[in-house]
Amino acid sequence: HPPPVATDKEEQKRLLENRPDQPQNPKVLRIAIIGAPNAGKSTLSNQLLGRKVFPVSKKVHTTRCKAQGVITHKDTQLIILDTPGLTNPLKAKRHNLEEAMLTDPWDSMKHADLVLVLVDVSDHWTRNSLSKEVLKCLSQFPHIPSVLVLNKVDILKKKFLLLEIATDLTEGIVNGRKLEVKSTLKQDSRSSAKPPFHITRASPPESKVQGSPFGQERNQAQEGSGLDKSSDVGGAGTGEAQGPKHHEPENLKDVKGWPHFQEIFMLAALRGEEVDTLKRYLLMQAKPGPWEFHSDVLTNQSPQEICDNIIREKVLEYLPLEVPYGVTQVTEVWEEGECGELLIVQSLLVPRESHKRMLIGRGGKVISRIAQEAGQDLMNTFLCEVCLKLKVEVK
């Protein structure tokens, strides 16, 4: 079972400063999860971690900053870099987003050993091509192995479309080989995440590894993405990439997919379907190297940051349009109660009286629901009783 997050700020700080309890032959893998806003990056991160530490919402830009999650399994440590959705300066201005949201995903890429590119297949407007921001990111760092993850496949009614989507997003090539289709009609019908076919690449049977839907080579992550170094774009590999400014837009204008993915996974992150398959694959890709965190660490965020993010997630969920982006949070009380429960009192400051009425709701229903749901999530994160009280005031 994953460890809980410490409720005390100082205790969490001590844990983060603790020297890692290195096993005999430690292995590590740093994973950047990138994708368009709302593709499900935080949901997938939470499922991989086994506890909710990242905020999730149907609204875009729920994740506002770069945070890390830590999975420790036997001698292996996976470090998940949950990044804000890749966006452009125009959209960032519209949603009143911080400068960090434009630079954080690029910063995460610089430190990653493997990139997961998440695509929401339920969005028929965007699912057949990678966003320009994602393509810029991949072409900036072509030396980092990348894996395509098709998410929300349970929502997709016509499963045969998955082949078309996979072909478009990979340009028909995965790990240097052309995609092939095999019918798997005898599949387990209980899993809605599995497609009615199986995509493979022609490869020797002995190279197949259990646990991956595509049978990849065991050492492919160590081999890099199979790209010729001379084709690196914009000085990738030097560690000095500063975001998309090295690129001429016409380079990527007609490009829809990325032909250098090593693997494709199809899953339903919200329901947890096939997430274990992906997790096993990631554990196998880890390379020998020292752990960065003690095994009791689940995230590098402070307990207050997690709390703020989870409350903000609910505010985003229940307020319409752009209204929640103007809410400011102020924690007034954070203390242990008489029976060991965590007592949290937070004020939500809004710019207008009309916003206050919306947030409170008729008979206080909206604010009560936010407090109840956020409190439940925090119990799961901290593994203790949480008493959460929310107040709404006009700034």
Residue 337 confidence (pLDDT): 82
Tokens encoding 281? 């694959």
Structure-model confidence comparison of residues 103 and 194, the more confident one: 194
Q: Where are the beta strands (DSSP E) in 273-320?
A: 287-288
Residue 40 and residue 271 in contact, taking contact as beta carbons nearer than 8 Å: no
pLDDT tens-place string over residues 258-273: 999 999 999 988 888 8
Tokens encoding 119? 């695509």
**Spatial separation of the C-alpha atoms in residues 118 and 325, rounded to whole Å:** 25
CA dist 268 → 155, 169, 238, 275 (Å):
8, 18, 36, 8
CB atoms within 10 A of CB 305: 16
The pLDDT of residue 202 is above 80: no
Mean of pLDDT values over 226-252: 38
Residue 75: exposure state from Cβ atoms within 10 A (0-12, 13-18, ≥19):
middle
Tokens 């983060």 sit at which residue?
Answer: 16
Q: Where in the chain is the domain with CATH 3.30.300.20?
A: 303-394
Residue 180 confidence (pLDDT): 72
Residue closest to 182 by CA, chosen among 195, 170, 200, 194: 200
Tokens 């998410």 sit at which residue?
Answer: 151
List of residues 6+ apart from 231 with CB closer than 8 A: 142
Mean of pLDDT values over 56-62: 64
Residue closest to 310 by CA, chosen among 33, 53, 43: 53
Residue 4: exposure state from Cβ atoms within 10 A (0-12, 13-18, ≥19):
middle
**Spatial separation of the C-alpha atoms in residues 335 and 251, rounded to whole Å:** 55
Tokens encoding 349? 């400051």
Q: What percent of the chain has pLDDT over 70?
A: 73
pLDDT tens-place string over residues 294-327: 999 999 999 999 999 999 999 888 888 777 778 8
Tokens encoding 89? 């300066």
Q: Where in the chain is the domain with CATH 3.40.50.300?
A: 9-182+253-288
pLDDT band at 84 (very low <50, low <70, confident <90, very high): low
Residue 234 confidence (pLDDT): 31
Phi first, then psi: what are they for 341, rounded to 5°?
Answer: -80, 155
pLDDT tens-place string over residues 159-178: 889 999 999 999 999 999 98
Structure-model confidence comparison of residues 219 and 252, the more confident one: 252
Residue 255 and residue 249 in contact, taking contact as beta carbons nearer than 8 Å: no
Structure-model confidence comparison of residues 221 and 19, the more confident one: 19
Residue 1 confidence (pLDDT): 81
The pLDDT of residue 352 is above 70: yes
For the domain made up of 9-182+253-288, give the CATH fold: Rossmann fold (3.40.50)
Strand order in the sheet with 386-394: 328-336, 342-350, 386-394
Q: 3.40.50.300, 1.10.1060.10, 3.40.50.720, 3.30.300.20: which CATH number matches 303-394?
A: 3.30.300.20
pLDDT tens-place string over residues 128-149: 999 888 898 898 899 999 999 9
Structure-model confidence comparison of residues 306 and 92, the more confident one: 306
**Spatial separation of the C-alpha atoms in residues 391 and 395, rounded to whole Å:** 12
pLDDT band at 198 (very low <50, low <70, confident <90, very high): low
Residue closest to 78 by CA, chosen among 232, 280, 335: 280
Give me the DSSP letters along 215-254: ---TTTTTTTT---GGG-STTTTSS---SGGG--HHHHTT
CB atoms within 10 A of CB 123: 14
Residue 84: exposure state from Cβ atoms within 10 A (0-12, 13-18, ≥19):
buried
- Kindly report the length of the chain: 395
